[in-house]
Each structure stands twice: as C-alpha cells, then as structure tokens.
Amino acid sequence: MPKQRRVRVKVCLVGESGVGKTSLIRRFIHDQFDERYIPTPSTLVSKVDLLFPHNHDSEITLEMDLWDITGQSAFRKFLSDSYFHHARSIVAVCDVSRSKTLHQLEEWINAGRDIAGKVQTHTLANKVDLPSNVVINDPKLKQIANQFGAPYYFVSARTGENVDFAFQTIAETILKEILSELDEKEGVMRKEWEILDAIAKRGKLGASKEYFFTHMRGIGFDTLKSYIERLEEKGFLRVSWTDASNFIAFATDAGLERAQMGPELIEDEYLDMVV
C-alpha cells in the first residue's frame, strides 16, 4: 500500500466584484454553476483534497484551502494580513468582457504580495462562454500576467471550460514547489540527524570537536558549529564550551527521541511544516 502524506496549502483568489471567483470555485469543487450573483461579503473559504502520486511508493494528498476574497474596490484598502498570511499562491481573476477588471489585477496582486511575499501567481480570464462580449484577448492578458511570471488560462465557470485544468495545474505547480524546497532541505536535515545520532550514541561520554573531526571527515569547524548551535537551540543538545573553538555535546531526552526517528520521519515532519 502506498505511503500516505498530506500537505495543506492556502490559495487566495482575488479580483474585482462580479468576475466569477465564487463561481469558479463552485464549478471546480462541486461541478455546479449558479446564475444568481451574490456578492461575497468579506471572504469565504472552501476546501478540496487532490491526490497526487509521489515516487514509486507514496501518495500526497494536497489539501487546498481556497480563499474567495471579496472584490469590492473599497475593501482592498483594508485587507487584513490574515487574508494572505501563509498563502502559497494568488489566483487573480478577471472578466473577459470588462477591460477594467484586467487593469485592476495589478493592484490586487500587489496587495496580496505585500503581505504574502513573492508567492506563485496565476491568472484566470473568466466568462469565455460569451464570445461576442470578449474584449480581453490573449496578448492583453499575457502582458499583465508576464509582469508577475504568472501562467494564465481562459476559463468559463458557466460551462466548465478549462476550469479543472487550470486548478489542477495550479495545484501541481504548488506541490512541485513544496517538493523542490524539501529536496533543498534534505541534505541539511540528513546531516543534522547524522550529527545528532552520533552524539546520542556516545551517551554520557558526549561528543567533542575532536571526535567529529576523527569520525566525520570533510566537515569544517564553522559548519559543525552551526549545526551544533542549531540543535542546541531546538533543545536536542546540551553543549559545554571549554573555549571559543572546543566543546563537548550531550543529547537531551528530546534529542535521543529525535535521533531514533531517523531521517525519513524527520522529512515527513518537515513536509507538514513547509506549507
């Protein structure tokens, strides 16, 4: 049976009122469309789970929290940090029949990035089911999207055209970014565990700088010191410095437990934290 992992991410949908953010979310999650227009009062959060295979022996369930943020222009000035805090992606939505909604996307994206940082951004141009009303074409959308390195998609909440493809692609891009971050951290996590495990195995004898230079070749003092200090800050080590360059380190109870976890379980824990 494949190993199961779960990752939870926050995705914020922004754009002017009436562009169809709520309808796009409803189409994607429930495959439904409501002709009625009911303005979003402040923000609505919808949840969806998407399953992705990972390597040959595991699967990852991506838990997406889709934040539907009201498009009232006056509200943009009073956006709370909480709306965008910890967001993994901003999805900017415009209405292909209203040029103004495209021009406003820059302000919406910048407002979100001011809080969330330079996170992934995607652009959806909604209502392509009304071809006679289209005023936003590919070159116009591309010009705005390219400013933020944002992939863009023409979609229709009414018919469902491209909606699943757009959201699935957004999810895959987010997960790819998370796994890339994990790969970058993997070497650091394994070395940290290797040092902690070596100290834990020394028991009451502890491990000195000389011990590491003898048994762990290729590691410099500054690098070793940074690992030791980080492990001490986390409560995994108790370190006695005899002078500026000599120490002896002992594993705490928390450190002994951590060492027994092994690097694979620590990676799983990081995957839970990275989002």
Instruction: Report pLDDT digits (tens) over 157-174.
Output: 999 999 999 999 999 999
Per-residue exposure over 175-209, b if at least 16 CB sit within 10 Å of its own CB, e if not? bebbbeebeebeeebebbbebbbbbbebeeebbbb
Nearest CA to 13 out of 35, 3, 28 is that of 28
Q: Is pLDDT larger for residue 64 or for residue 38?
A: 64
Place of tokens 């290729």: 218
DSSP 136: -
Q: What per-residue confidence (pLDDT) applies to 179?
A: 87
Residue 110 C-alpha from the chain's centroid:
18
- Are residues 121 and 149 in contact, defined by beta-carbon separation less than 8 angstroms? yes
Query: 87-108 pLDDT, tens per residue?
Result: 999 999 999 999 999 999 999 9
What is the set of domains in the chain, with CATH numbers?
3-161 (3.40.50.300), 185-274 (1.10.10.10)
45-77 as b/e: b if 16+ CB within 10 A: ebebeeebebeeeeebebebbbbbbbbeeebbe
What residue type is 3 in one-letter code?
A: K
Instruction: For helices 21-30 and 163-202, give the axis angle rounded to 10 degrees.
Output: 70
For residue 93, the one-letter residue type is V
Tell me: pLDDT of 71 over 80. no
**Average pLDDT for 194-198:** 93
Tokens read off for 233: 């800050």
In this predicted structure, the answer to whether residue 84 has a pLDDT above a threshold of 80 is yes
Using CA atoms, how far apart are residues 96 and 156, in angstroms rounded to an integer?
Answer: 10
User: In 5-21, which positions are buried (b, 16+ CB within 10 angstroms) versus exposed (e)?
Assistant: bebebbbbbbbbebbbb
Report the pLDDT value the prediction gives residue 200, as an integer from 0 to 100: 95
Res 39: pLDDT: 67
The residue written with tokens 């971050």 in the block is 181
What integer pLDDT is reported at residue 275 of this predicted model? 44
Q: What is the CA radius of gyration of the chain?
A: 25
